[in-house]
Amino acid sequence: MKTNNDIASRIGESHVTAARERFGSAILKVHWGSKDQVVFDVAADKAPEVVEFLYYGRGGWLSVVVGNDERSLNASYAIYYVLSMEAEDPCFCTVRVTTPADSCEFYSVSSKVPAVIWGEREVQDMFGLRAIGITDNRNLVLPDDWPQGVYPLRKDAMDYRFRPAPTTDVENYEFLSETGDKETTVIPMGPLHITSDEPGHFRLFVDGEDIIDADYRMFYVHRGMEKCAESRMNYDTVPFLAERICGICGFAHSVAYVETIESAQNIEVPARAQYIRAIILETERLHSHLLNLGLVCHFSGFDTGFHHMFRVREKSMNLAEMLTGARKTYGLNLIGGVRRDILGEQKIVTLKYLEELRGDVKNLADALLSTPNFIDRAAGVGVLDRKTARDYSPVGPTVRGSGYARDSRWCHPYDAYKTLNRKPITQDSCDVKGRTLVRVAEFFDSLSIISELLENAPGGPILNDSWSIEPHRYAVANTEAPRGEDLHWSMIGNNQKCYRWRAKASTYSNWPALRYMLRGNTISDAAMIVGSIDPCYSCTERVAVIDVKKQKQQVLSRRQLENYCVDRRHSPLES
């Protein structure tokens, strides 16, 4: 019988050979976590060069940086740089580096590969590790008044629900700018702003109406999902939590999580379940793209188009409800398959919905793309040049609008996408218009994909529940959410819980490049540019909150929570 490593030796082997030839003994160990996921254990001081080689030299793109407290396993911390190899020999290559628990230091990769900067800053915040030579040493996730020595994702961190009172009333976060000799005025946008329904703090450095530079801070909404999963949930209940990461692309997160477990544990998913997952993923893409196209209409002053896009979007929401029983948060995924089948009459109704959506959206898209105000507001605005895109690894329509054919459905096919013959949809204008055109084309492509999958879906079971769990195996899994690649990394412990779960949303990959997209535009373009990446703020925000002083925890009643929100002087932990 072939082992996992026997199968995997045919996938990713060229990257292993090239890395060993280049770095020799610095490659300490190589193994395959699953058939298309190769892991390099690398000497700490060589990690920057190895990641750079795989990234620029072998066609890799950064998917995620994962920190892990492995002191109970091997007396060290570990950092995983997960790279999506999309040129020769497509697979996932992970560079793993360990750092001793007594030093808590690692060599930063950020000077070699700019895309890792957010991931390394988060590792510093959440695990208390120090990145030597990091290019930006500011907090990323934690607020500046967070108490010293408290690192939420360490295994010995206490699991509390309420953060301590702020140590200062003045924000002391340093917003950076590269304005040269120009004298600029600082214009704040946020944290709460009329153009955004979620909190993000932007600073525009302007000369007159022109944006010379910009910086921004996210992570104002903290929900503690990863800590919750690791401390209070069993691994097989996490799919329902994962679906609540995002109100738009929650199913994509749920699929990504369950497939990390299925991949790490070699769980075979029935073919029909794979088709159902892909159909619902594409249904999710329909209503997400219609939402963004409606907002594009709004930002360009075409509010009639906005209302009509949302009117038509209701049909896609009705379609989702008919197929799953809910407009959103479907609760459909289980490890090993899905909970609900698509029946014959549902197939007939779905095909009818698809034809209606095709006609409605064609008329609306034609109207939008022929509106002079849209062209004036979108063409040449918010340019993400190809070099910046290559350096920062954005995903979804954001990177495809800059000409890169990055779409995990086709670069790393999963579920029923493996049966389809498609290529990523791209535009090379690198601007707001290009990103909008990608979404329009993808909407119609999704209609065709759903039709094809419905017609070709095989019969048979929808769930495999005959499997067992081997602790401390880990894997990554990707889904192409409407905004781009969602990637999850998980390792199950020996207590039926996730030892470590890292959920990376697509917007997390798109934020770092936004600064460069804002430069050279006007103040009035800012909302349009931010909207063009279709951002989801809360997707990226997962930190636990801690009350160090009281060291207590309590489940609040609804009335207690309401009182606390109304009067912050009231302590929810007081009897």
Query: What is the structure's pLDDT at 197?
Result: 67
Residue 134 above 80 pLDDT?
Answer: yes
Task: Enter the pTM of the model.
Answer: 0.90
The CATH superfamily of 225-540 is Cytochrome-c3 Hydrogenase, chain B (1.10.645.10)
Residue 547 above 50 pLDDT?
Answer: no
Confidence of residue 9 (pLDDT cuts 50, 70, 90): low
Q: Are 198 and 513 in contact (CB under 8 A)?
A: no
Residue 322 above 90 pLDDT?
Answer: yes
Q: Are 10 and 34 in contact (CB under 8 A)?
A: no
Q: Are 507 and 535 in contact (CB under 8 A)?
A: yes
Query: Nearest to residue 426, comparing CAs of 414, 415, 440, 413?
Result: 440
Other Cβ atoms less than 10 A from the Cβ of 433: the count is 22
Tell me the H-state helices in 463-502: none
Residue 510 above 50 pLDDT?
Answer: yes
Q: What is the pLDDT of residues 247-294, one digit of tens each?
A: 888 999 999 999 999 999 999 999 999 999 999 999 999 999 999 999
Residue 352 above 90 pLDDT?
Answer: yes
As a whole number of angstroms, the distance between CA 557 and CA 575 comes to: 13
Query: What is the structure's pLDDT at 538?
Result: 63
Structure-block tokens of residue 49: 């060069």
Residue 471 above 80 pLDDT?
Answer: yes
499 to each of 7, 27, 227, 366, 374, how far by Cα in Å?
27, 26, 10, 50, 48
Helix (H, G, I), strand (E, B) or coil at 201: strand
Fold of 4-138: Beta Polymerase; domain 2 (3.30.460)
Confidence of residue 110 (pLDDT cuts 50, 70, 90): very high
As a whole number of angstroms, the distance between CA 537 and CA 218 comes to: 7
560 to each of 546, 549, 566, 573, 575, how far by Cα in Å?
18, 20, 10, 10, 11
**When comparing pLDDT for 190 and 364, which is higher?**
364
Q: Are 219 and 540 in contact (CB under 8 A)?
A: yes
The domain spans of the chain are 4-138, 225-540
As a whole number of angstroms, the distance between CA 95 and CA 114 comes to: 16
Backbone torsions φ then ψ of 40, nearest 5 degrees: -105, 120
E-strand stretches of 227-334: 333-334
Helix (H, G, I), strand (E, B) or coil at 182: coil
Query: Nearest to residue 59, comparing CAs of 555, 563, 453, 405?
Result: 405
> What crossing angle do the helices spanning 271-299 and 432-456 adopt, rounded to 10°?
150
> What crossing angle do the helices spanning 344-369 and 303-324 adopt, rounded to 10°?
170
Query: Nearest to residue 163, comparing CAs of 541, 573, 547, 572?
Result: 547
| 228 exposure class (CB count in 10 Å sphere: 0-12, 13-18, 19+) | middle
> What crossing angle do the helices spanning 271-299 and 250-264 adopt, rounded to 10°?
150
Average pLDDT, whole number, for the chain?
88
Query: What is the structure's pLDDT at 172?
Result: 76
As a whole number of angstroms, the distance between CA 182 and CA 186 comes to: 12
Arithmetic mean of pLDDT, 530-551 = 61
Residue 90 above 80 pLDDT?
Answer: yes
- 437, containing H or E segment: helix 432-456
